[in-house]
């Protein structure tokens, strides 16, 4: 397909394109189905003058107003096994491939390493942006490389692991190179002899239940781990098809061990994960719950009743309302604990 004026639609509602279901309007909207489409568009001098927004599955964005520019919805498809050796397979996926479908595809092939990341919404192309993670695994653990197009020159560049500066929900693409590249494909180095990781959360417990209920194998494989993760997620997180949300709204803050010791005098039950370098990570959901926000509703928006880290749109809520709610929560948590919590969601 060749992107011409014809393919650019005007005044498009973004409601079906974001999991918060915010009804913002894009002045212009175009679907990008190939690298060629993208390069063609970037070459167009008209494009250079416009504000643009790259959109995958819209599961990590909050629209607070209409977008007065061009939205590029990335649909680049395709999954290819690039090469294999005895231990690994290098699998490349187009940026528009649905992340969960990619995980399931790799599991069917018997390739492990991303099964703990089952059921995370969104696209493959957005996954490196915040180094998606869940249940003790992050994509940086199996990431090999990605291809991205420079938004100014249209040139394709390959980024390897060391180039991406992955951290907790961070990468170079959220910081130094923010808004400079469009990721078009990602390659993962997956394990042909998977080493399963069941230590985190309720995975072990859920696997045991699965064994007693439907006779799952005594030694679980990647398929069973994936099923367990799906089951846990479905029981804990609201389905965006049913109630608008973008998963965790805030990142878990990291504080010094000294600050934690001080807080522990007052809040004995405060849960933490120890990190290297005398640091601890505090679950933001716990802080929000302690600040009294769990399950609260303000008009059409609110805080989920099972998971305080998730802000929700009960229907017809505005992005500005969710942003204002997030600000109030952030303020209250700071007043109570002296800890600053930062949004994980990209506020637009
Ligand atoms: C119910 C629910 C549960 C979730 N659970 C988790 C979880 O467990 N762990 C986790 O890490 N995340 C989680 N998320 C957040 C979200 O799923 C991930 O951040 C996901 O990677 C976002 O993908 P997306 O395609 O929807 O990105 P979008 O929301 O479309 O975009 C997110 C950001 O990436 C940019 N972007 C998108 N595609 C590209 C591209 N091809 N090139 C360059 N920039 C791009 C956008 O401009 C935007 O800034 C959850 C979300 C929901 C709704």
Centroid of ligand 1 to alpha carbon of 97 (angstroms): 12
pTM listed for this prediction: 0.94
Q: What are the residue ranges of helices labelled H in the chain?
A: 35-43, 45-48, 99-109, 203-214, 222-236, 257-266, 284-290, 319-337
Residue nearest to atom 49 of ligand 1 (CA): 346
For a mutational test of ligand 1's pocket, the pick from 70, 247, 309, i.e. the residue with the most ligand atoms closer than 8 A to its C-beta, is: 247
Centroid of ligand 1 to alpha carbon of 99 (angstroms): 10
Residue 220 — very low, low, confident or very high, per pLDDT cuts 50/70/90? confident
**152 among known catalytic residues:** no
pLDDT confidence of residue 7: 87
For a mutational test of ligand 1's pocket, the pick from 34, 126, 136, i.e. the residue with the most ligand atoms closer than 8 A to its C-beta, is: 126
Which residue is catalytic, options 115, 118, 248, 321? 248
Domain boundaries, the chain: 9-74, 79-191, 244-347
Residue 1 — very low, low, confident or very high, per pLDDT cuts 50/70/90? very low
Using CB atoms within 10 A of its CB, is residue 87 exposed (0-12), middle (13-18) or buried (19+)? exposed
**169 among known catalytic residues:** yes
**344 among known catalytic residues:** yes
Centroid of ligand 1 to alpha carbon of 290 (angstroms): 27
Provide the CATH number for the domain formed by 79-191 in this structure. 3.30.465.10
- The ligand 1 site (C-beta within 6 Å) comprises 19, 53-61, 74, 95, 120-123, 125-127, 129-130, 132-134, 182-183, 237, 240, 245-247, 346
Contacts of range 270-275, beta carbons closer than 8 Å, 24 or more positions apart: none
If you search the block for the tokens 């599955």, which residue do you land on?
57
CATH class, domain 244-347, is alpha beta
Nearest of 26, 32, 25 to residue 7 by alpha carbon: 32
b/e code 122-160 from CB counts within 10 Å (16+ = b): bbbbbbbbbbbbbbebbbbbbbbbbbbbebeebebeebe
Range of lowest pLDDT (106-115, 120-129, 214-223, 338-347): 214-223
CATH of 9-74, one of 1.10.3720.10, 3.40.50.2300, 3.30.43.10, 1.10.10.10: 3.30.43.10
In whole numbers, what is the pLDDT of the chain averaged over residues?
94
Range of lowest pLDDT (4-13, 27-36, 187-196, 316-325): 4-13
pLDDT confidence of residue 289: 97
Residue 274 has pLDDT above 60, yes or no: yes
């Amino acid at each position: 397909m060749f992107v011409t004026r014809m393919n650019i639609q005007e005044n498009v509602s973004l409601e079906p394109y974001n999991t918060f279901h915010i009804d913002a309007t894009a002045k212009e909207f175009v679907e990008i189905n190939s690298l060629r489409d993208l390069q063609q568009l970037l070459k167009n001098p008209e494009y250079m003058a416009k504000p643009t927004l790259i959109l995958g599955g819209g599961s990590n964005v909050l629209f607070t107003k209409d977008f007065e520019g061009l939205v590029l919805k990335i649909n680049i498809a395709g999954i290819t096994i690039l090469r294999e050796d005895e231990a690994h397979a290098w699998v490349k996926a187009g940026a528009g491939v649905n992340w969960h479908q990619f995980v399931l595809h790799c599991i069917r092939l018997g390739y492990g390493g991303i099964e703990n990341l089952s059921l995370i919404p969104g696209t493959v192309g957005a996954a490196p942006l915040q180094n998606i993670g869940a249940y003790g695994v992050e994509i940086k653990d199996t990431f090999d490389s990605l291809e991205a197009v420079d938004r100014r020159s249209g040139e394709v560049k390959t980024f390897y692991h060391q180039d991406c500066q992955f951290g907790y929900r961070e990468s170079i693409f959220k910081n130094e190179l923010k808004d400079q590249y469009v990721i078009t494909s990602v390659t993962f180095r997956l394990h042909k002899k998977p080493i399963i990781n069941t230590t985190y959360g309720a995975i072990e417990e859920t696997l045991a239940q699965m064994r007693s209920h439907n006779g799952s194998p005594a030694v679980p494989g990647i398929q069973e781990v994936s099923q367990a993760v799906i089951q846990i997620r479905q029981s804990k997180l609201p389905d965006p098809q049913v109630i608008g949300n973008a998963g965790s709204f805030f990142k878990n803050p990291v504080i010094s061990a000294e600050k934690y010791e001080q807080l522990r005098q007052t809040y004995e039950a405060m849960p933490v994960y120890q990190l290297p370098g005398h640091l601890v990570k505090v679950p933001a959901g716990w802080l929000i719950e302690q600040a009294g926000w769990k399950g609260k509703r303000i008009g059409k928006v609110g805080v989920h009743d099972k998971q305080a880290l998730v802000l929700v749109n009960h229907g017809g809520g505005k992005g500005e309302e969710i942003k204002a709610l997030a600000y109030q929560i952030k303020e209250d948590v700071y007043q109570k604990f002296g800890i600053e919590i930062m949004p994980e969601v990209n506020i637009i």
